Amino acid sequence: MFRKLTIGFAAASMAFLAVPATAQEAEEPRTTYRIEYLKLKPGMEQRWIEMGEKYYGPATEAAGQKHPTIHWLMSGPWDIMMVFELPRGMAMLDSHNPPERTAWEAAFEKVAGSKEAAEKLVAEANTIETDSLVVYSHTHP
């Protein structure tokens, strides 16, 4: 009985090796996005825009990265949706300190004037946002 099972498993295993080559072709790469939803305190929209134009946008450019697409939402609980393309896909999440983040933080400190000034700006941004949510998505080729 044991011998018959072993032969059966071996035969089934061989069937998996005979999968046609077309089933093993490389997939087209997907585009992966980090999507962040923000809820701002009432009346803070202009300050959020100002901080983006004066600090966050220039830091993104200085780091050589793509700007997020920003959507001002007209319904639902969120005020803003920002869509960031992840150039290395989900591999960017394989590290606590990916090179893209390091480059952006260095550029942000330079644009802000110092590490302390950059920390104050981040703290301020955190006070004008009342809630946030981050999700990830990808396209299907």
Query: What is the pLDDT, as a whole number, of residue 86?
Result: 93
Residue that has been written with the tokens 């996005």 in this structure: 33
Q: Are 83 and 71 in contact (CB under 8 A)?
A: yes
What amino acid occupies position 30? R
How many C-beta atoms lie closer than 10 Å to residue 37's C-beta?
Answer: 18
Query: What is the pLDDT, as a whole number, of residue 29?
Result: 79
> Given CA atoms 42, 45, 48, 50 in this order, what sign does their dihedral have?
negative
Query: What class has domain 32-138?
Result: alpha beta
- Domain boundaries, given as residue ranges, for the chain: 32-138
pTM (predicted TM-score): 0.77
Query: What is the pLDDT, as a whole number, of residue 116?
Result: 98
Phi, psi for residue 111 in degrees, rounded to 5: -65, -40
Q: What is the pLDDT along the chain (141 residues), one digit of tens a residue?
A: 545 545 555 555 555 455 555 566 787 878 999 999 999 999 999 999 999 999 999 999 999 999 999 999 999 999 999 999 999 988 888 888 899 999 999 999 999 999 999 999 999 999 999 999 999 999 987
State the DSSP code for 83. Answer: E
State the DSSP code for 43. Answer: T
Query: What is the pLDDT, as a whole number, of residue 12?
Result: 52
What amino acid occupies position 101? R
Query: What is the pLDDT, as a whole number, of residue 33?
Result: 96
Q: Are 40 and 133 in contact (CB under 8 A)?
A: no
